[in-house]
Amino acid sequence: MKKLILLLAIAMLSTVFAGGAFAFQDISPAAAYALSGSDANSYIVDVRTIAEWQWLGHPGSNKTGEGSALDGKVVNISYKIEKKGATVINPSFLNEINELFSNSTDVTLIIMCRSGSRSKAAATLLEEAGYTVLNMVTGFEGGKDANGYRTVNGWANDGLPYTYSGAGYAD
């Protein structure tokens, strides 16, 4: 038993020293919807590409008005962009975040992407820059089903309100 505890402690410490430990927490799309809609200082930062934002939709008020609490609470700042035929980290990502949120440490940024992978990297960068961040684990489209389609979970598949219009950050 002592050996097991010692091995577990070593594994945890090696994760910390390898840079694998983060303070940010994961949050489900439903919890992100509730938090961003009810807390004036919580925002959803969609780090997908502009094309994903426009063509697949993003969290927001739908045609029936459901999700109106998200108006002005969801922004798109791509974490990765295409440059000379390659996908690279957006060199102005952090500057764009700082411009929108004025380097504010009193906001909570809920980071989302398609399925939760890019958002982890973006959340790490933002956390290192001093922001309070949460990572939306299944993103907008979620995981793949047995046929390779993204139908398993995520914001849209969980039935949360989304739109194809509007953008920005409102004070």
pLDDT digits (tens, 9 = 90+) for 61-97: 988 889 999 999 999 999 999 999 999 999 999 999 9
Residue 1 belongs to some domain of the structure? no
pTM: 0.81
pLDDT category, 4, cuts 50, 70, 90?
A: very low
Which residue has 């930062």 as its token pair? 45
Residue 111 DSSP class: E
- Structure-token match 């993003």, residue found: 58
Type of residue numbered 12: M
How many other CB atoms sit within 10 Å of the CB of residue 44? 26
**What residues contact residue 117 under an 8 Å CB cut-off, 6+ apart?**
139
17 or 106: which leads in pLDDT: 106
**Does residue 168 lie within any of the structural domains?**
no
* CATH number (domain holding residue 125): 3.40.250.10
Asked if residue 171 is part of any domain, the answer here is: no
C-alpha to C-alpha distance for 78 and 82, rounded to whole angstroms = 10
Give the dihedral of Cα atoms 92, 95, 140, 27; nearest 10 deg.
140
Within a domain: residue 169?
no
Range of the domain at 138: 22-163
**Mean pLDDT, the chain, whole residue set:** 84
Is residue 6 assigned to a domain? no
Q: What is the count of structural domains for the chain? A: 1
11 found inside a domain = no
Rounded Cα–Cα distance for residues 62 and 85 (Å): 34
Is position 4 within any domain?
no
The SS3 call for residue 22 is coil
How many other CB atoms are there within 10 angstroms of residue 20's CB atom?
10
